[in-house]
Structure 1
Amino acid sequence: MNVDDIDILCDKETALLTNTKLAGYLVEKVDYKESAKFKSYYGKFLIEGIGVEIMGDWQILDAKQTWSKMYVADADSITHVQIGTLSIPVTKISLELELFARMGRWTAYQKLRKQVDKVPAQQGLFWQKKPFNEKPLPQAQ
């Protein structure tokens, strides 16, 4: 899988704070935005040539035309990956899969699911005991 940018999922306050903390990298100011499929405190930054998208209190409109809960990357939805002496908080793969499914992005869902299935030792780092929506996640085919 190729990575084009970095998506940062956070709450409203953190999203708005990035306007001042990352002001020198600002491409699109973080502000409340609503589209046909999403609503959040959204903005863009460019840091050393890498695009960074901020999404605070992010919600997704699903195929049933229902807005999801607010996604904020709270303690239950993140894990930490150790790189050298640096501990980096990242969203659990179970959340990434849930988000792809909610958005109807089945190709991305299947790519990620297959990637995780290839490396069984990593599964324990990312899978939580029960999915966020209390229903089993669909299996990639």
Structure 2
Amino acid sequence: MTLHSLSSALHEVIAASVPLLQRHCCDPWVVIGSAACALAGACVDVADLDVLASTADAERLIALWPSRRDTTYAPAGADRFRSHFARFLFPGMPVEVMGDLQLHGAHAWQAVQVNDVVHVQVADIAVPIPSRCEQIRILESFGRPKDRARAELLRAL
């Protein structure tokens, strides 16, 4: 994948936010969703940078970035997803932090876990994302049409 295939907005938000995440998060974290798909080489539209983190790190970021926090935004899908959520405004696009994200499966809430992380270099910044196979597994577990479409794009790479 060539880095110039990424949008300038994605480059901008990575440059502005990832070094801060690396500095302030104490637990492992990973970029998921459309941004991770784009970083893996899929041609997808990216509207925000989704970060899967611990609840403790989500709380830490909320305390560190009160002026960046978008308190008016409410994520969709509360029947399927729950987390310690915060949306922050950064150059390029928002950063959405999901502390201990859970997915409501067939019978109960289950933690969304990433079992295989790779790092993608964007302008000398190492960005952790799930491996392609892990992204496909996670997206398919989400079950929404947009997630299934992203999984197919990743599968085609």
Partner amino acid, structure 1, of 2:85: Y
User: Distance between the aligned counterparts of 1:50 and 1:23, measured in 2?
Assistant: 17
Alignment equivalent of 1:19, drawn from 29, 47, 62: 62
Task: Name whichever structure is richer in helix by fraction.
Answer: 2
Partner amino acid, structure 1, of 2:125: L
Aligned residues between the structures:
110
User: Distance between the aligned counterparts of 1:92 and 1:9, measured in 2?
Assistant: 14
> Gapped runs of 5+ residues in structure 2?
1-43
- Contact between 2:48 and 2:94, CA under 8 Å: does it hold in 1? yes
- State the Cα deviation string for residues 90-110 of structure 1 (Å, max 9, x = none): 223333322322221244323
For residue 114 of structure 1, what is the aligned residue in structure 2?
153
- Contact between 1:11 and 1:72, CA under 8 Å: does it hold in 2? no
- State the Cα deviation string for residues 54-99 of structure 1 (Å, max 9, x = none): 101111002x23222x2355xx432111234322212233333223
Alignment equivalent of 1:91, drawn from 106, 119, 130: 130
User: Distance between the aligned counterparts of 2:84 and 2:152, measured in 1?
Assistant: 28
What percentage of aligned pairs have identical amino acids?
Answer: 21
- Contact between 2:117 and 2:128, CA under 8 Å: does it hold in 1? yes
Partner amino acid, structure 2, of 1:71: V
Task: Name whichever structure is richer in strand by fraction.
Answer: 1
- Contact between 1:57 and 1:71, CA under 8 Å: does it hold in 2? yes
Give the structure-1-normalised TM-score: 0.65
Does residue 1:65 correspond to 2:104, yes or no? no
> Gapped runs of 5+ residues in structure 1?
119-141
CA distance 1:85–1:100, shift in 2 (3 Å): closer
Partner of 1:47, secondary structure, is: coil
- Contact between 1:10 and 1:71, CA under 8 Å: does it hold in 2? no
User: Distance between the aligned counterparts of 1:72 and 1:21, measured in 2?
Assistant: 25
CA distance 1:80–1:108, shift in 2 (3 Å): same
Cα RMSD after superposing both structures? 2.5
Partner of 1:28, secondary structure, is: coil
- Contact between 2:102 and 2:112, CA under 8 Å: does it hold in 1? yes
Q: After the TM superposition, which residues 1-141 of structure 1 pair with which residues of structure 2 at under 5 Å, given as runs? A: 1-28=44-71, 35-62=78-105, 64-68=106-110, 70-71=111-112, 73=114, 76-118=115-157
Structure with bigger RCO (C-alpha 8 Å, 6+ apart): 2
Give the structure-2-normalised TM-score: 0.59
Partner amino acid, structure 2, of 1:103: F
